[in-house]
Copies of this chain bind each other. A is one copy, B any other.
Amino acid sequence: MQKFEVTILGSGSASPTISRNPSAQLLNIAERFFLIDCGEGTQIQLRKSKLSWARIDHIFISHLHGDHYLGLLGLLQSMHLLGRKKVMHLFCVPELKEIIDIQNKYSGTELNYEIEYHFLSTNGKQLILEDNKVKVYSFPLNHRIPCCGFLFEEKVGLRKIKKYEFEHRNISLAEIHKVKQGINAIDNDGNEIDYKLLSDSAAATKSYAYCSDTKYDERTVQHIKGATTIYHESTFLKDMIDRAKATFHSTAEEAAKIALAAESKQLILGHFSARYGDLEPFLLEAGAVFNNCLLAKDGEIITI
């Protein structure tokens, strides 16, 4: 089975703490590395995690609150200093380009590599990236400024060949390629053979939904329905629901309601307010609604 895991680089919210950096995650899908958000200090978190920066070719920035992007310029400039030449694909709102350009201008920096911008829209769910292994979608979240979540889907994999059926039925092994993709084979006598007789279905595909920052909004569910794992912000506990509403954030209980409605298998809670030291109450509160919750912790790797 191909790798599908996320490394938490920052689990804190606006004001970082010693143990919780601001938002950043590195997603590894079959050795493709996707950086999601890039709060201040992300390049140091990447160094600590011993993950290779060089393999990050896609960065997704959900919105322009500082705790989600202030580490980006330092990371981009360090990549430049370390000799990067490959194009970097940056998915963000257009205003981030202005912010990057003005700072590179005043620091006299001309990056050795190109940034290819892919501007996000908050107008519904959008396919923003597709290759032979992965599809990535953006979708609108409900926050104080324009903000997108991201859904990463493995593509349906190749069917599993029953080799003995090929031998038994006198079919050339040259037909394997077609059958793996769900196309009927032709045997050595010219007869068409149903691919389902010759193969088992592919392993179920997995998907990961990143929902931060957002207030509780049931409209999110349609965009992430069936996601294997959902990361949903839970800045507050439910006794602070008024503060959550006022600041367009969510409580742990609300995050769990979204995961339940989306029929997900696993919920990761994160973006915890600096006011909380002990995070166990988040697990208890969300666990009463949805039965497979995890806490995002800086440095931890979670399998999707």
Contact = CB atoms under 8 A, between A and B. Distances in A.
B81 A74 contact: no
A147 B81 CA distance: 20
A164 interface: no
A18 B45 CA distance: 9
A214 to B, nearest CB: 15
A101 to B, nearest CB: 10
B17 A47 contact: yes
A88 to B, nearest CB: 16
A66 B17 CA distance: 22
A40 B74 contact: yes
A144 B108 contact: yes
Count copies of this chain in the complex. Answer: 2
B145 A106 contact: yes
Contact of A66 (B65, B66, B74, B98): B74
Interface in A35-77: 40-41, 43-44, 47-48, 64-67, 70-71, 73-74, 77
Interface string A86-120: 00000000011011001100111100000000000
5 smallest CB-CB distances across A and B, nearest first, come from A40-B74, A95-B106, A64-B106, A15-B78, A41-B41
A72 to B, nearest CB: 10
Contacts of A14: 77-78, 81
Contacts of A15: 78, 81-82
